[in-house]
Structure 1
Amino acid sequence: MLVADASSNAMQGEYKSINDGLVLLSTLIAWNFGLDWLSYRSPMVERFLEPVPEALVRHGRVNRRAMKREMITREELDGKLREQGVEDIAEVRIARLESDGTLSVFKVRGGGEPPPTGDSPRASGPPGA
């Protein structure tokens, strides 16, 4: 949005020349690239610039304190869970709000079935093959 505003000001003639707008845009792009590069190279800078994923739901229970910190209502959370195919919050093992604003949802395994392994008969084929 900042880039769009800066470029529109340059095109609408609020600056003395197009060069003024280009300088502003190139400065914004350089800062963005520089901070991304710095956060990639330095874990300390990354922790400062990128928020840690926040658990909003754990084992089917809503973390109201985290929702309040992130300013998310229960209705918004329910809507995001429905987008992920969750009908009941009891299905959720953990739901995290990622640093880019997306919601990662991990569901509880149903029926107490063991996790899939490469040793199952279906994966290895018929015996003696």
Structure 2
Amino acid sequence: MNPILDVVVRSLCVYLFMVVAIRLFGKNQLSQLNAGDVVLLLLISNAVQNAMVGQDTSLQGGLIAALVLFAANFILKRLMFSNRSFETFMEENPVILVKDGNIDEKALNTVKITKDELEEAIREHGVERIEDVRLSILEVDGNISVVSEDNQTKQTHYSRIKRKNKRKYQ
């Protein structure tokens, strides 16, 4: 087989395997990186490097592998954008954690968030008490959105903070 074609096929196979593996093991598994997750990422990248480029350790082989990964990711995103059922398969739906000041314990358990972690996220949004939260949602990207109400002015506030360490769940 042509060496360039070999790198292309190998890279596509590794990409598809990683997409399926992340989906099976919880697609947001890598959204909050702790020390174990960083080690896992480093080991996975090292493990699949040779599988992608095979014997071709040249600059050309590495650039072709990277180009194939970018193209595969671009195509995957386009498929998700154009096909709702595929998008639903690839991404979880948002999960309501708090509604009108009441915590949904079942939802917390499902997404593996402790009450302390929820309270921390709510405080990050400038809300002191869960009772003041009108709506709190774990978004598909792992961030938590909070809609609160100021008790004195009865004015609703919405905040969504992009967290450096996003929450992971299955």
Task: Tell me whether the two structures share a fold, i.e. TM-score over 0.5.
Answer: yes
1:74 pairs with one of 92, 109, 115: 115
Unmatched tracts of structure 2, length 5 or more: 1-40, 157-170
Q: How far 1:109 moved relative to its partner?
A: 5.5
Q: Is the contact made by 2:97 and 2:107 (CA closer than 8 Å) also made in structure 1?
A: yes
Q: How far 1:114 moved relative to its partner?
A: 8.4
1:87-126 mapped onto 2 (5 Å cutoff): 87-108=128-149, 110=151, 113=154
In the alignment, which residue of structure 2 is the partner of 1:24?
65
Structure number with larger C-alpha Rg: 1
Q: Which amino acid aligns with 1:96?
A: I
Question: In percent, how many aligned pairs have the same letter?
Answer: 33
1:53 pairs with one of 62, 84, 94: 94
User: For the residues of structure 1 that align with 2:145 and 2:111, how far apart are their CA atoms?
Assistant: 15
The total of aligned residue pairs comes to 109
Q: How far 1:16 moved relative to its partner?
A: 2.2
In the alignment, which residue of structure 2 is the partner of 1:62?
103
Q: Could you say what the CA RMSD is over the residues aligned between the two structures, in angstroms?
A: 2.7
Unmatched tracts of structure 1, length 5 or more: 116-129
1:33-44 mapped onto 2 (5 Å cutoff): 33-44=74-85
User: For the residues of structure 2 that align with 1:28 and 1:89, how far apart are their CA atoms?
Assistant: 43
TM-score by length of 2: 0.55
Q: Which amino acid aligns with 2:67?
A: S
Q: Which has the higher contact order (CA 8 A, sep 6+)?
A: 2
